Structure formats: C-alpha cells, structure tokens
C-alpha cells in the first residue's frame, strides 16, 4: 500500500541557483547566432523565390552523396600519394 505524503519523511529537491557571467555571455552568444541562422535562411528563401520548394527537396538528397564522393576522392588521393 502506498504511503501518504505525511507518512513519508522526504524533502522536496531544490536546485541551486547559479548564473555566472560566462553562462550569461555564452547564452547571449548562442541566442544571437541562432537568430542569425534563421534570418539567413529566410533571406535565402526570399531570394530563391519560386525555386525554394525545389531546394527543400534537392539539397537533402544530393548533399550526402556529395560528402560520400568527397571522401572517396580524398581516399583515392591519399592512396595515390602514398
């Protein structure tokens, strides 16, 4: 049988409140960079106009293949140089 809260002898957990200058600076930096990324994406979509939907589908498909091809080219260059 479960005990009632009055029967249990436990204290609620309390978190220590610490917010130092480095944490505030890093938080502000992260928020600023994050907002800049969203502004940049919005600017790119604005400039691409009617081609924005195409880029949404093409980029996720071709970027991984480009990375694989780049790794293969580096591997071949390393094998040929060595």
| DSSP string over 15-72 | ------HHHHHHHHHHHHHHHHHHHHHHHHHHHHGGGHHHHHHHHHHHHHHHHHHHHH
Task: Evaluate whether 48 touches 55 at the Cβ level (below 8 Å).
Answer: yes
Q: Please tell me whether residue 77 adopts helix, strand or coil conformation.
A: helix
Q: Tens of pLDDT along 44-80?
A: 778 878 877 776 677 667 777 777 888 888 888 888 8
Q: What is the pTM of this model?
A: 0.41
Q: If we measure between CA atoms, which residue out of 72, 46, 48 comes closest to residue 58?
A: 48
Q: Tens of pLDDT along 31-45?
A: 998 888 888 878 877
> Which pLDDT belongs to residue 4?
58
Q: How large is the C-alpha radius of gyration of the chain?
A: 26
- Choose between 2 and 76: higher pLDDT: 76
């Amino acid at each position: 049988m479960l005990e009632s809260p009055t029967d249990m002898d436990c204290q609620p957990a309390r978190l220590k409140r610490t917010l130092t200058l480095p944490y505030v600076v890093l938080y502000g930096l992260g928020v600023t960079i994050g907002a800049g990324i969203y502004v940049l994406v919005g600017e790119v979509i604005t400039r691409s106009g009617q081609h924005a939907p195409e880029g949404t589908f093409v980029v996720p498909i071709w970027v991984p293949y480009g990375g694989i091809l780049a790794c293969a080219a580096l591997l071949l260059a390393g094998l040929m140089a060595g």
